[in-house]
Amino acid sequence: MLGRKKEADKTKDLPLHIAMIMDGNGRYAKLKRRPRVHGHYEGMQNVKRITRHASDIGIKYLTLYAFSTENWSRPSAEVSYLMKLPGDFLGSFLPELIEKNVKVTTIGNMDDLPKHTIKAVAKAVDDTKDNTGLNLIFALNYGGRDELIQSFKSIHQDINDGKLKAEDIDDTLIQQYLMTYNIPDPEMIIRTSGEYRLSNFLLWQSSYSELFFTNTLWPEFGPDELDELIIQYRKRDRRFGGLNDKEV
């Protein structure tokens, strides 16, 4: 296992950015014969464990898919509980995040969230804005297709306003209009609970991400399993459409 940052550096560098689809809270609660909100509570406790570990081993960016644009279709009581979690989580965890030099940021349409959620997240973002350690990025009310639609609309508006020309559009320009414009693309995307899809998560940014799927439910996904997946990542040959030295 990786353990400390020093141990992690023995072979090759850690991934700069890990993104995680935290799936399986509801199934965890069902297995425990508890309400679904119990699974979400335990899932948020696991966010603390994984964040601590990612910070300790030297991960620079950790993006967590906390609430998607599609999650609004869930029962209203469940949505209300999910909207309380950021405040509860940050209220109890923010001092430790500050101590660990973690910087909190978000992607997604924050304006559509309840005021109490926006307030809690805004405080965490402001209180940690000068931190230089792990960048903890919460995807809240986020959807990959929605992100692309918004970026294309903004590009179209800037063309109409004379700020851009159509021939200026390339992958670099589109990147500048995304919610992740100042965040490197993830090298690793991990999905828990045995599902094999991205579910509208970082569609543009995942073009060359290494994908990892585990049957482990999110509340039970621990640091040891994260370490094991990082070890697997190191063994992969990342060619980005080209050839490696042996194939030339």
E strand or H helix that includes residue 31 = helix 25-31
> How far is the first Cα of the chain from the last one, in angstroms, to the nearest whole number?
34
The one catalytic residue among 56, 71, 127, 158: 71
Active site residue 23: yes
Q: Are 233 and 57 in contact (CB under 8 A)?
A: no
Amino acid at 82: L
CA angle 52, 54, 48 (to 5 degrees): 35
CA dihedral 196, 201, 202, 206 (to 10 degrees): 0
The one catalytic residue among 9, 13, 23, 46: 23
Active site residue 160: no
In whole angstroms, give the CA distance from residue 107 to residue 202.
10
How long is the chain? Answer: 248
Q: Which positions are catalytic? A: 23, 71
